[in-house]
Each structure stands twice: as structure tokens, then as C-alpha cells.
């Protein structure tokens, strides 16, 4: 899995490609943690190139969302979520925890 981050004035964009599973979830967790340790809590997660997410990956997303929302500091939103990933989020009952946007541009503009 490849992860890229980009800092904007009002938020940070994190883009992952490939699978988010037990072997790669820690990389994503570290990327989110680095952003939050820098005091930035508005995150856009571009999922356009994510083709699979496991329960461990879902836990990373939920943990990051909770950390961002703690004390009303910010929020993590999802962009370009594929139908397969959206179904996974719905089946796990996590779809309502995240705002989703069709494109990363729309998501960045929401902040």
C-alpha cells in the first residue's frame, strides 16, 4: 500500500492505494497519527484507489475519527468511496460515522 499526504490551509489530504488490511493498516494509522500530533484534526481521506478494507482498517478509520472529533477539534471525511467499500462500511454499521464526498476536491472544500 502506498500512502501520500498533502497539507492544505484548512485540512490535510491523505490518499491510500491498494489494500488496507492487517499488514498495511499500521502504516495508515501512523500517517493519521503524524497529522494529529502536529495539531491538525481536519482530515480528508481519499479512497479512490483503495480496493479492499479489512476490519483492522475499519478500526483505524474509527479511531482516527474519534481522535479528530474529540473536544470538537475537527473531523475526518471520506472522498471517492467505491461502492464495494461503501457496502463494507454499511454492513459494519460505520457509514453514518463519516461524511462522504464524491471527489477529494469537494471534501477539501467542505472545510
Model confidence pLDDT, tens digit, residues 39-73: 999 999 999 999 999 999 999 999 999 999 988 88
pTM to 2 decimal places: 0.92
Query: Residues 62, 55, 26, 11: is their CA dihedral positive or negative?
Result: negative
Model confidence pLDDT, tens digit, residues 77-95: 999 999 999 999 999 888 8
Residue 51 CB contacts under 8 Å (≥ 6 apart), including other chains: 18, 19, 82, 84
Instruction: Please list, residue by residue across 45-66, b when 16 or more beta carbons sit within 10 angstroms of its beta carbon and e when fewer do.
Output: bbbeebeebbebbbebbeebbe
Q: Which domains does the chain have, with CATH numbers?
A: 2-109 (3.30.750.24)
Q: How far apart are CA 47 and CA 96, in angstroms?
A: 17
Q: How far apart are CA 40 and CA 44, in angstroms?
A: 11
Give the other-Cβ count within 10 Å of 42's Cβ: 18
pLDDT score for 49: 94
Q: Give whole-number Cα distances, 68 to 22, 32, 98, in Å.
A: 22, 10, 12
What nine digits make up the cell of 61? 478509520
Amino acid at each position: 500500500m502506498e500512502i501520500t499526504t498533502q497539507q492544505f490551509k484548512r485540512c490535510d489530504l491523505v490518499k491510500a492505494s491498494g489494500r488496507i488490511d492487517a499488514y498495511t493498516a499500521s502504516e495508515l494509522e501512523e500517517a493519521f497519527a503524524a497529522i494529529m500530533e502536529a495539531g491538525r484534526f481536519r482530515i480528508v481521506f481519499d479512497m479512490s484507489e483503495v480496493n479492499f478494507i479489512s476490519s483492522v482498517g475499519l478500526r483505524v478509520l474509527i479511531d482516527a475519527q474519534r481522535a479528530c472529533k474529540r473536544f470538537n477539534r475537527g473531523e475526518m471525511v471520506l472522498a471517492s468511496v467505491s461502492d464495494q467499500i461503501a457496502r463494507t462500511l454499511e454492513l459494519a454499521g460505520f457509514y453514518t460515522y463519516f461524511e462522504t464526498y464524491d471527489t477529494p476536491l469537494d471534501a477539501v472544500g467542505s472545510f
